[in-house]
Homo-oligomer: A and B are copies of this chain.
Amino acid sequence: MRLGVLISGSGSNLQAMLDRVAAGHLPGVEIALVLANTPEAYGLKRAHHAGVAAVCVDHRHFASRAAFDQALVERLLDAGVDTVALAGFMRLLTPVVLEAFPGRVLNIHPAILPAFPGIHAQAQQAAYGVRLAGCTVHFVDEHMDHGPIIIQAAVPAMPQDTEASLGARILALEHRIYPQALAWLAAGRIIVHGRQVEVVGARYTGEGPLWTVPALEPPFISEYPV
Contacts and interface: CB of A to CB of B under 8 A. Distances in A.
A78 interface: no
Given A204-B214, A221-B207, A154 B154 contact: yes
A157 to B, nearest CB: 8
Contacts of A60: none
Contacts of A195: 127-129
A155 B86 CA distance: 27
A174 to B, nearest CB: 11
Interface of A: 20, 23, 25, 112-116, 127-132, 134, 148-156, 158-159, 169, 172-173, 176-177, 179-180, 183, 193-199, 202-217, 219-222, 226
Scoring A156, A173, A210, A221 by chain B CB atoms within 10 A of each residue's CB, the highest score goes to A210
A201 to B, nearest CB: 9
Nearest to A170: B226
Between A23, A129, A151, A169, the greatest number of chain B beta carbons within 10 A of the residue's beta carbon is seen for: A129
A47 to B, nearest CB: 22
B197 A207 contact: no
A202 B199 CA distance: 35
